[in-house]
């Protein structure tokens, strides 16, 4: 009940703050190049504990015990980190492009209202949910 109530409260706050929503100084934040974004995404991906746990749980089934371990491990690690970093880079570039959308008058307010409504709906669903 407490968690659902908190979600409803946060959703109401987000919904009511929509008219004051701003991105701050967007022009100042956009000075990073694609290579810097890729490097940051690679570091975040490589050091993400969730990724490490997934890697440890998922990768062993692709290791062949008849072959040397280290070459297999290096290939799988490099492949995983590269693909995950490219995924993070794609999201970062998409977010960069979304700034154009959010610069439009009313777009950020609309998104804040939508987000506030979604958080309130999750709070109501949490309060309405019965324990198993």
Is the CA virtual torsion 117, 118, 121, 122 positive or negative? negative
18-30 confidence digits (pLDDT tens): 888 776 665 565 5
Give the pLDDT score at 26. 57
CB 8: neighbour CB atoms within 10 A? 18
Which of 40, 37, 36 lies closest to 48, judged by CA?
Answer: 40
Report the C-alpha gap between 107 and 68 in whole angstroms: 55
- Which pTM does this prediction carry? 0.52
pLDDT at 12 over 60: yes
Which of 74, 82, 75 lies closest to 51, judged by CA?
Answer: 82
Q: Is the separation of the CB atoms in 12 and 130 below 8 Å?
A: no
35-77 confidence digits (pLDDT tens): 887 788 778 877 888 878 887 888 888 889 899 999 998 998 8
Average pLDDT of the chain, as a whole number:
83
Give the pLDDT score at 116. 93
Percent of the chain with pLDDT over 70: 91
pLDDT at 33 over 80: no
Q: Percentage helix, strand, coil, to 5, in the chain?
A: 80, 0, 20
- For the chain, helix (H) and strand (E) counts, in that order, are 6, 0
């Amino acid at each position: 009940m407490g968690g659902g109530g908190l979600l409803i409260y946060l959703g109401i706050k987000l919904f009511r703050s929509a008219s004051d929503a701003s991105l701050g100084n967007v022009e100042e934040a956009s000075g990073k190049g694609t290579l810097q974004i890729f490097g940051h995404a690679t570091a975040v991906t490589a050091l993400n504990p969730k990724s490490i746990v997934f890697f440890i749980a998922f990768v062993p089934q692709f290791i062949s015990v008849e072959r040397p371990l280290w070459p297999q491990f290096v290939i799988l690690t490099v492949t995983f980190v590269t693909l995950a970093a490219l995924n993070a880079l794609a999201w970062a570039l998409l977010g960069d492009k979304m700034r154009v959308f959010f610069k439009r008058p009313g777009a950020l307010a609309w998104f804040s209202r939508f987000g506030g409504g979604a958080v309130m709906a999750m709070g109501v669903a949490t309060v309405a949910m019965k324990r198993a």
